[in-house]
Structure formats: C-alpha cells, structure tokens
C-alpha cells in the first residue's frame, strides 16, 4: 500500500492521468497504444502521461508482457489518500480539489452506467444502491466503521483471486462514501 503525498498528488491530479489509471484499474495492464485507443487520445500524449505516472510510482512496467518496443503498464498496488495531511499548502489544496472532484465524478459515472445498463433480474436483486442517514458518530467511530467495511471487502478481494469464474461471475465495483453532514437550518 502506498500513501499519496503532496508531490505525488500533484503528479496525479490531472484528468487524463486519472483516466489512464482508471482504465488500467478496470481493464488490467495496458500499453500506451491500447490506452490511446480506449481514451481517444494520441499515443504520444498517453506515453508522456504514463511515464509521469510511473515516475510518481502509480504505474510500473509489466515485465512479463510485451517486447522491448511494446511496454505494458500495471498498477503496483493500492494507494491511500488522507486529505487532512495535504490541506495546508495552497498549491497542494488545488491539486487535492482537482483529484477529489474528478474522483467523485468517476464514482457518479460508474453508478449511472450501471443504472443505464440492462442487467438480468438476479443481478438487479443482488446489487445495491443504498444510503444510511441516521448515524451519529465521532470521527474515531467513522474511521472504525470504514476500517471494518474495508476488511470485509478485502476478504472478498482475496477470495476473488481464487473465487468463482464462469458465465455467472462478473466483476463487481463497491463504492463507499462516508462523510459527515451538517444539518441545515431548522424549519
């Protein structure tokens, strides 16, 4: 697991670089050429952004694939961001804002895509779009809740490496947003 620091955040906080990472996260290792076709960009532009992502540690070359001319890229592991660590510097705050807003848009687009798709009833019954608005927690309790939910998801991720395959197994995205809410004025 890698923590995002101020320098690497500035290297990441660009919509195209974030789209490159998402494409590799969702579809696996790729070359600059395949990424260019997938994202509708030219190969030179993608190659430059891929090298920058690699320089900041977000991508590594997948040495088991390709040739000397064809370089495949993969994500080396999970990254973690703690926004509280990065809010003090105005330059970093701008990069953090770009990153977080793009991330929220990606999450929304994923849900919208799911809603727009026609999934069989068994998947419609299994999926969930829920929210809970009646929790009152301290920051410590919210952190513990996130850790517990993450541990449950990590168990399924680990099982997925050796888990079900075949016609009925689909890749599943779990999105979790947990944040405080200030109540509006009373009516």
pLDDT, tens only, 101-121? 999 999 999 999 999 999 999
Q: Could you tell me the two tokens for 164? A: 């079900």
Which of helix, strand or coil describes residue 153?
helix
Q: Residues 6 or more apart from 102 whose CB is under 8 A from it?
A: 13, 15, 18
> What confidence tens digit (pLDDT) does each residue in 139-171 have?
999 999 999 999 999 998 888 766 666 778 888
Q: Is the CB of residue 79 less than 8 Å from the CB of residue 1? A: yes
Question: Check: CATH 3.40.640.10 for 2-117?
Answer: no
Q: Could you tell me the two tokens for 21? A: 């990472």
pTM, rounded to two decimals: 0.76
pLDDT for residue 163: 66
Number of residues that make up the chain = 187
Mean pLDDT of 26-54: 95
The chain-wide mean pLDDT, for the chain, equals 89
Q: Is the CB of residue 31 less than 8 Å from the CB of residue 70? A: yes
Model confidence at 186, in pLDDT bands (50, 70, 90)?
A: low
pLDDT for residue 126: 92
d(CA 103, CA 18) in angstroms, rounded, equals: 8
Domain residue extents for the chain: 2-117, 121-180
């Amino acid at each position: 697991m890698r923590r995002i620091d101020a320098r690497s955040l500035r290297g990441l906080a660009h919509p195209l670089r974030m789209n490159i990472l998402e494409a590799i996260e969702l579809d696996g290792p790729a070359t600059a050429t395949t990424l260019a076709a997938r994202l509708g960009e030219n190969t030179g532009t993608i190659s430059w952004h891929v090298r920058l992502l690699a320089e900041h540690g977000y991508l590594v070359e997948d040495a088991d694939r390709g040739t000397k001319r064809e370089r495949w890229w993969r994500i080396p592991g999970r990254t973690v961001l703690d926004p509280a660590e990065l809010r003090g510097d105005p330059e970093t705050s701008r990069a953090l804002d770009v990153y977080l807003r793009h991330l929220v848009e990606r999450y929304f687009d994923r849900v919208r895509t799911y809603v727009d798709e026609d999934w069989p009833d068994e998947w419609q019954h299994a999926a969930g779009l829920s929210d809970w608005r009646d929790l009152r927690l301290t920051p410590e309790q919210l952190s513990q809740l996130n850790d517990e939910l993450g541990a449950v998801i990590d168990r399924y991720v680990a099982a997925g490496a050796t888990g079900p395959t075949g016609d009925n197994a689909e890749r599943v995205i779990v999105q979790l947003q947990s944040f405080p809410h200030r109540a509006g004025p009373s009516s």
